[in-house]
Every structure is written in structure tokens, then in C-alpha cells.
Amino acid sequence: MLCVAPMRSEPRQYKALEEAIDAIVESYETPVPINDLQSAALPNQRRIIEALHELEPVLYMGFYATRALSRDNLRHGLAEHLYRAHDLLVEQIERALGYAGWHGLRQTPPPPGSGEDLVLALFRKIPELRRKLNLDVLAAFEGDPGAESIEEIVFSYPSIAAITAYRVAHELWRLRIPMIPRILTEYAHGTTGIDIHPGATIGQSFFIDHGTGVVIGETAVIGDRVKLYQGVTLGALSVPHRSVATKRHPTLEDEVTVYAGASILGGDTVIGRGSVIGGNVWLVQSVPPGSKVFGRSKRDGVVAEGAGA
């Protein structure tokens, strides 16, 4: 004879859990942005970061290889990473383009081609990216007397990790790919404390010493051989409506040094070539080439002195 055990009554805590779930489901009925259920079409952040980790060995192959390298096997080693990065990025770029188009976010003019075309355009830029990154690494080695080797800088300096992510993201930004450049630089921001917008324009031999708290805005322009210390902000004086395209962030010409905690603000602010901006200075006006700007105490009513000295 088949015996059927009596069904247990639903535990009290499960009933409360089901009620909580019902309430959360109901909260999705309101027409607010975070209730958009099209998120399945969004780029996948984890996959994008995986693609960056596949590109890092391509950019610095000798530092990441797990086996001996030679000219004979270099191409094979690079291809392993590039094929994986290719497949990841093509899918994620197609998702980003589709999502932007679906929601009316597609930029004008649209990106030049399919996901496949855009990934190949990025890959063609890698030799130039490697040239620039080599100069960034050398700038770090020459600018930091505490650095004992190039290897130490590549492996352990947060500024190199942030600049590497920025240089890749900037190429994607220039290709007008939505969302993915910001995902890359915000990932670097989270892991290094250095916030570089992918739209910023940064020249060669760029060095950020220590780095935590550095902020570089979208329309900032930085020349060659510029050196920033921790806590520097290249920011905006105001935040215009997003539909208004305007330069909001400052310009630093070649060979400028900005010391810790300084804030340089405004799209019309230009720091002339070879200038030195001291720590904790608040600067909202241009200074000529060769200036030395140092802060005074707030009780003096002066935020900077020595411009043009």
C-alpha cells in the first residue's frame, strides 16, 4: 500500500519571504529608469573586464607570459590573448550599440562599423598604444627615485594600471563606442583610486605619482611630460546641461607639474608650459608658461601667489 506523508504546513518564515518577494515584484510596476527590464541587452561588465585582462598581456607580453618567449613563439602567444579579447569585445560592443540604439542614446554620427570592425580598429592601434605606454612607464621610472626597476613599475604601480586602462578606453571613446570606455576606466578607478575619464586627452610620458584621489575630467587636455601627484583634481567649475557640448575642464601644457591636493578647475583655465602648481592650491584662472603657483593660508584671503615668477 502506497503511503503518502502529509504535507507540512508552510514554515512561517517562508511565507514572510514570499510576501517580501511579492512586494519587490510590485515595485517594478512603476515607470522609473531603474525598472527597465531590457538590461539583458546591456554590455556585461565582467566580460569587458575579462577582455581588458586579455589585452594587458598583449601590451606587456614579456611581463605576463607564463612560459619562455622568443621571436618564434611570440606571435602564437599574442594570438591566444587577442582571439579571446576579440570574441569578448565583439559581443559586448554589439550589445552596447544595440542598447544605445534601442534607447535613443546612439551618438551622431554613429560608430564607424560593426562590432567586428570596431574591435579590429582598436587592435590596429595596439602598436601605437604600446609605444605610448612604454613612454609612460619610462616617465614613472625616471620620475620616481624610489623605483628600482621597470618590472616593479609595470607590476605594482597603480598609475600604470590606470593609465593602461585609460589608453585602451580612450581609443574606444574615439571610435564613439557607448558605455564600454566608462566601464573600463571606472574599473580602474575602483582598483587604483585614480579616476581618468576616457574622453580626456593625455599626451606622452604621463606620470601620476602615488595617485590615490586623482580626478581627470572628460574635456581635460594634458600635454607631454606632465606629472601629477596624489589628490589632484582637473575638474569643472560648473555642470552645464548634458546636451551642451563645451570644454569644462582645464588644459595643462607640456612639462607641467602639479603637487598633491591641488584643484585646477574650468574649461578656460590653461596652465602654461613648464609651470609648477603647489600642493593644495585652488586655481580657476590661467597662468603663463614657467609660472610657480603656491598656496597661502585661507585667512590671508589669497589662494595662490607667484604666477609668472
Residue that is last in its domain, among 147, 173, 193: 193
Query: Per the domain annotation, does 19 fall within a domain?
Result: no
pLDDT in tens, the chain (309 residues): 445 444 455 567 688 888 888 898 899 888 887 877 765 578 999 999 999 999 999 999 888 877 787 888 888 889 999 999 999 999 999 999 987 766 555 455 778 789 999 999 999 999 999 999 999 999 999 999 999 999 999 999 999 999 999 999 999 999 999 999 999 999 999 999 999 999 999 999 999 999 999 999 999 999 999 999 999 999 999 776 665 679 999 999 999 999 999 999 999 999 999 999 999 999 999 999 999 999 754 443 334 444 444
User: Cα torsion for 215, 220, 221, 222, to the nearest 10°?
Assistant: -10
Query: Per the domain annotation, does 86 fall within a domain?
Result: yes
CB atoms within 10 A of CB 128: 11
Residue that is last in its domain, among 193, 211, 235: 193
Same-domain check for residues 209 and 138: no
14, 248, 251, 289 from 217: Cα distances, Å: 49, 8, 11, 22
Same-domain check for residues 49 and 183: yes
Same-domain check for residues 146 and 207: no
How far apart (Å, rounded) are the C-alpha atoms in residues 227 and 215?
Answer: 13
Same-domain check for residues 172 and 280: no
Residue that is last in its domain, among 193, 221, 248: 193
Q: Check if the beta carbon of residue 264 is closer than 8 Å to that of residue 271.
A: yes
Quote the pTM value.
0.84
How far apart (Å, rounded) are the C-alpha atoms in residues 258 and 189?
Answer: 20
Query: Per the domain annotation, does 118 fall within a domain?
Result: yes
Residue carrying the nine cell digits 576579440: 86
Planar angle of CA 193, 196, 200, nearest 5 degrees = 170
Spatial neighbors of 226 by CB under 8 A, at least 6 apart, are: 202, 203, 205, 206, 207, 252, 254, 255, 256, 257, 258
Same-domain check for residues 81 and 218: no
Same-domain check for residues 82 and 184: yes
Same-domain check for residues 61 and 156: yes
Same-domain check for residues 243 and 185: no
* Domain count for the chain: 2
Q: How far apart are the first and last CA of the chain?
A: 103
For residue 262, what is the domain's CATH number?
A: 2.160.10.10
For residue 44, what is the domain's CATH number?
A: 1.10.3130.10
DSSP 7: P
Same-domain check for residues 104 and 224: no
Q: Which domain holds residue 152?
A: 40-193
Same-domain check for residues 217 and 309: yes
DSSP 266: -
Q: Assess whether the previous peptide bond of 109 is cis (omega < 30° from 0).
A: yes
